[in-house]
Structure 1
């Protein structure tokens, strides 16, 4: 199909859902213009490298690990918080690659995950109707009218905090912190004495022995593959003014890239074929993810794939399925079968979080570890059965010792949730639960 001409502003001619009702449109335009003149957060060459790695995941030669906060909070943009989350992702990746036998592509929901979609423009808080909290890049979570007023200056603050996060991530991953000889130091203090922590330490000793053996036989271990880690960032690209401002034309290829993050995804609420988000992202050359839930229309998904990846380029498009443990068996087999029949080159990733959310008796929104793992196991088994590739996992997780998801080795129960429930948004796996999942996923990776 011949598509109409694209520009980084052509989305403005389409209906843009989930955009804040900015009270001062002139101030909003000024902030977008300011951000458009600031340096990019990521670079076209890095984005192309990620796309190459994702092309390997589409063929089953690598595995995508994508994880981080549901919605980043400005207050958590601190060196300790960033380091703790990075540590858990590095731990999970080393477990999955060493025990699972494949390279693991590390993508954080970091350095830009500051906005969130909402089901309604207003919400009731303490009997008062207030504008919905849409993430720190839009408004404040405090339950009063002034805090909930959408403020474009928050986009500018979000840019600067994302810049700080990227700076720290690059320092950690390229400056020696992510070296494989430091695998022991990644083990969080509160995880170390757990069964998962002890299992991890055993694996870390095996890695130490392998590196030492390489030195003994004269193999150079002072190489980037052992001393550094490739780490990429991603977020749900919700605020199109912000994304437009950070979209730049690459001087070497002439292609357009959204330089707010390496990988962006479109959520279930904003993936309309004639909508502004699909229009915007069909024209940038980043790897794109699309969330697909149980109420999808297969013909609509096929059209989405053709629109967002007309050249059928491997690594360009990731379908992130979010069915829930109880519905994945009904929804995923036919979807996988039909996409395979069309010959689409896709990365299949599983979001086992969103479809397994429930409200505990305490009133806390939570997710159960066993249900999360059940959906992951079904995801693998269905793809094996359909002859397609289970290529990745998409988690909401944190490096903090939170009690937000039930179950896991520590057997967190509903009545434990209040002990350390910190999220502003959806419940996240803590480091111990994340590591436990990594070991179980590694076993599934080995099975095929």
Structure 2
């Protein structure tokens, strides 16, 4: 095993790299050379700031809200769609902060979530075997051979669209849109007119408005940055390593010389399929200073997880590692307790985060993949309860969710919730490029449920 001192950003190429497209060599070289000379998407100082926030969440002093699209699509990179998803996350954060009583760290699965791992390199569509769709940064969803070829130019397009998304997110976060004075405006019309939207208006928005009015009445001006602006960070699965290597940068402002940052996003995570101890993804990510997430599903060996954590965080740096558990409602009680005991027993500092989405996929009679609101909630309840009984801090949640699409409206991809969506409703507006997402109403309802869990923790 190589040491930290011998790490280089291209050393991953000496390891087995799973889930990589079969890029054409010449075109890949041209694309990555251009990417390596383009500006970083995020700054190293922002990355360090997020890491400090996550260290607080691991101690129970803050809470991580991470959410966004399963797989971003180039065609959906529009101002209304970006704004709509941001609205949902801001509303969820307002609910969690006000009702849960803790600062909320807002991290979007956005501005880079254009790559997807697949269970097979090929898939059958209408009796024809085609290369699998691996996300818009690799190929197209169109069901023909030409569209399914891996195209390195798509990595460049993914970079430019991520830059455009980040530009708009920063404008919204710092330009007044995210001000707490706008808590009513965040309530989209289709949510506002629902029971969940009504609870948000009465239980959160109106109370925040009264608090702001009180502050003004006693002479505390509410035009301060803490009221008018929000910190918003981005994350994605670090899957395509040629792309990640091209955007790795050494920070001249770092107090420690020679440290590298993955500047494609603030927080990078490792998927359940790519966390091999001697694999290329671990090799690359051990050398960058970003806070790292690691998905852990039922198919894991505890000893292996401990070794990966030690390799990625040899100095036991707080805020560096987030374990994102994804066991499923029926398996969380089986797998989470021994994992918590082992990590605690090894003295490894981690932030415990629950992804209640990926372990709860099922197929409806229509053939659509879906998830049940009730199963998602059950896994979350189990996560909080087990963390409490094992003496761990339930520090965050990780959702696949989306706002209202500018053309098609609110999605119908997950069943259940206050609106009572059933399997028969799925085909009304099933739009995802990969896995089913919570819509805005379901997301807000889930936030109220989580706020109660935080308050009772």
Verify same fold: TM over 0.5: yes
Alignment of 1:6-405 (within 5 A): 6-22=7-23, 24-202=24-202, 203-253=204-254, 254=257, 255-400=259-404, 401-405=410-414
Q: Distance between the aligned counterparts of 2:182 and 2:91, measured in 1?
A: 11
The CA RMSD measured in Å over matched residues stands at 0.8
**More displaced, 3-12 or 94-103?**
3-12
- The offset of 1:189, in angstroms, is 1.1
Secondary structure of the 1:147 match is coil
Normalising by structure 1, what TM-score?
Answer: 0.99
1:410 is aligned to 419
- The offset of 1:342, in angstroms, is 1.1
Q: Distance between the aligned counterparts of 2:299 and 2:249, measured in 1?
A: 35
Secondary structure of the 2:433 match is coil
Q: Distance between the aligned counterparts of 1:223 and 1:45, measured in 2?
A: 22
Q: Distance between the aligned counterparts of 2:2 and 2:57, measured in 1?
A: 29
Specify every segment of 5 or more residues in structure 1 that has no aligned partner in the other structure, as ranges. Answer: none
Residues 266-302 of structure 1, C-alpha deviations (whole Å, 9 max, x = no match): 0011000000000000000000000000121000000
Specify every segment of 5 or more residues in structure 2 that has no aligned partner in the other structure, as ranges. Answer: 405-409
Q: Distance between the aligned counterparts of 1:81 and 1:441, measured in 2?
A: 25
- The offset of 1:3, in angstroms, is 2.2
Q: Distance between the aligned counterparts of 1:222 and 1:84, measured in 2?
A: 24
- The offset of 1:57, in angstroms, is 0.5
- The offset of 1:361, in angstroms, is 0.6
Q: Distance between the aligned counterparts of 2:2 and 2:357, measured in 1?
A: 37
Runs of 4+ in 1 over 4 A off after TM superposition: none
Q: Distance between the aligned counterparts of 2:440 and 2:94, measured in 1?
A: 14
Q: Distance between the aligned counterparts of 2:240 and 2:57, measured in 1?
A: 28
Q: Distance between the aligned counterparts of 2:318 and 2:195, measured in 1?
A: 39
1:433 to 398, 419, 442: 442
Q: Distance between the aligned counterparts of 1:338 and 1:123, measured in 2?
A: 38
2:407 is aligned to none
Residues 232-280 of structure 1, C-alpha deviations (whole Å, 9 max, x = no match): 0000010000000000000112321000000000001100000000000
- The offset of 1:2, in angstroms, is 7.7
- The offset of 1:220, in angstroms, is 2.3
